[in-house]
Structure 1
């Protein structure tokens, strides 16, 4: 069998690796002319690490990132709202609460693919299906033909837009900046992933290897707001100046070139992931807001499950139906829970914020851990 994978992100590369290990010829077609060392940090929970272990790359990934011990949410004054020790879950489900620079993860995945598996500068324009073949047409006038096409081309997937025109990204109501920087000399807890919920917005800080810091900041704003587009690190720092340290210092120490900005959006859960010989995967199928840190994790799961289904079912249509059945409900639940969590975290009314914080502090720890365990129990 021969497979075309449209999109060379985490989901696309993991899929290529999984299919190649299953004995399927797989080639990735990426729109970008070259892979740049851009991107920010990415968190990988136990479910993703189990997937990477299945793919045989976990040890190399672990060598490039950092495992943390807790997920801690603070209020604007630095008082703890929620503190989830992730060590017990790591003991039960394997490496968990792991952070890595996205470019490093990308590099590891690329290094494990067969030579010549990735073609760059191939922007998908159209997909055609005929009889027992699927063909993709590229903007440069070339084309490729295979038995199966995996669309892993992100939330704005060209393939999905062709197949499901009414499936468009839903704005979540807030916009986000991210960066990876050298620690400017501030003191942070190097064993936790920290997030702060404040009336001004939300800020996350996580340590990476080599004394680097991955941070993100989210603010409620209109979609595609020009003021937000022109935001600088200095302006962001002033916006969060009343929030506990070292938030202001971290933001202010970022250069404009390091700053990545985008509005946050997700997809309304789709009725189908499979359309003939075309299968949607990762953000192209079930883009979620980043509030549960499950975007990349679910894409990695997709890759492992798809390869398993193709190995277990000799008839392609049956294999793809099985993939859709295993992935639809789980990813839809992540989309909904993540969107709800983001809405609650972004309450701007100070009184509502205090009520929220009080409720979270009173929540028994086993409830939060049970919710996390639901994510970490994978079916592969």
Structure 2
């Protein structure tokens, strides 16, 4: 398609704001945000490629945590492995959103209204950055979001004991603990649940998690016992593997294109890379098909890897059978 002069971005999350910040002044950009994102206690990690890409569009982030070590534990607290941790940039989601908002140029037109019909948008290119519930995705390929059997809790706490940092795996549940800095840590749980699928009430999900993890180690129980209603409770939704991310004048990026389980911690990174590579393609007269050919296999690999890791982490554990007496 010819280089678009007018781009409508549907969604003001990580992918949408990154794209709005990255597109050049020669493109007339309209950013449709239904409502400002609610500040939450969720944290996230950005891999180095995403941090470099954001730096090129003027988003300054704190330095990454140095590579370190973490544990892989059973939920009863028994350590299975020592793992090397990559140099990720760890930060609270509201801090990243504030940095992205600040990077969006004043020339970008902002419309604070939900887009009910993307086909009515007056633009050469409509980019769906509207998350797992995407309205734009159906114009690229018909694919409804899928509710997984998993619900997640996410919260912040005080400093973490280095000996406790890592993931704790068990049948139908997992827990993770990550240091953010010297004063704060981020924790998360996932467990199989028939609540919802939505809306989910934090007290109800928290009570269920306290029961499901009630017989597990003190590291897990302590975070759940001291958690309050400011934590996040969400059903984990995914998007089936799409055959394409672009069709005619419509494109999808981020969770609208490839929402997956969060086990690899790649969601924010892939959203940033989708957006910055799309901006580079549109700026350089590149082909959307070539952009798609690069991003589709990369993001599909992330989704497949995350799903495989979820199955491995939450699989039933078998205990050794007692030896039989006699012959």
**Shorter chain as normaliser: what TM range?**
0.7 to 0.9
Post-superposition offset of 1:266 = 1.5
CA 1:67–1:303 in 2, change beyond 3 Å: closer, same or farther?
Answer: farther
Aligned partners of 1:193 and 1:44: how far apart in 2? Answer: 18
1:253 and 2:253 aligned: no
Post-superposition offset of 1:99 = 1.4
Q: Determine which of 43, 51, 63 is the counterpart of 2:53.
A: 51
Aligned partners of 2:67 and 2:238: how far apart in 1? Answer: 27
Runs of 4+ in 1 over 4 A off after TM superposition: 65-68, 225-230
Aligned partners of 2:226 and 2:111: how far apart in 1? Answer: 34
Q: What are the within-5 Å matches in structure 2 for residues 224-235 of structure 1? A: 224=196, 229=201, 231-235=204-208
In structure 1, list runs of 5 or more residues that go unmatched: 88-95, 129-134, 137-144, 355-380
Aligned partners of 1:121 and 1:308: how far apart in 2? Answer: 26
Q: Paired residue for 2:80? A: 81
Q: Paired residue for 1:179? A: 155
Task: Give the match's secondary structure for 1:61.
Answer: coil
Q: What are the within-5 Å matches in structure 2 for residues 188-267 of structure 1? A: 188-189=161-162, 194-199=166-171, 201-209=173-181, 211-222=183-194, 224=196, 229=201, 231-256=204-229, 258-267=230-239
Aligned partners of 2:29 and 2:67: how far apart in 1? Answer: 34
Post-superposition offset of 1:72 = 3.1
Q: Is the 8 A contact 1:30 1:118 kept in 2?
A: no
Q: Paired residue for 1:282? A: 254
Q: Is the 8 A contact 1:220 1:346 kept in 2?
A: no
Post-superposition offset of 1:79 = 2.8
Post-superposition offset of 1:120 = 5.2
Post-superposition offset of 1:117 = 3.0
Aligned partners of 2:165 and 2:117: how far apart in 1? Answer: 41
Aligned partners of 2:276 and 2:199: how far apart in 1? Answer: 41
CA 1:69–1:156 in 2, change beyond 3 Å: closer, same or farther?
Answer: same
1:334 and 2:325 aligned: no
Aligned partners of 2:233 and 2:45: how far apart in 1? Answer: 18
Q: Paired residue for 1:155? A: 132
Post-superposition offset of 1:283 = 0.7
Task: Give the match's secondary structure for 1:157.
Answer: coil
Q: Paired residue for 1:323? A: 291
Task: With the length of structure 2 as denominator, give the TM-score of the two structures.
Answer: 0.86
Aligned partners of 2:69 and 2:182: how far apart in 1? Answer: 20
In structure 2, list runs of 5 or more residues that go unmatched: 321-327
RMSD of equivalent CA atoms: 2.7
Task: Give the match's secondary structure for 1:211.
Answer: coil
Q: Which structure has more helix as a fraction of its residues? A: 1
1:15 and 2:19 aligned: yes
Task: With the length of structure 1 as denominator, give the TM-score of the two structures.
Answer: 0.75
Aligned partners of 1:295 and 1:78: how far apart in 2? Answer: 28
Q: Is the 8 A contact 1:233 1:252 kept in 2?
A: no
Aligned partners of 1:226 and 1:83: how far apart in 2? Answer: 37
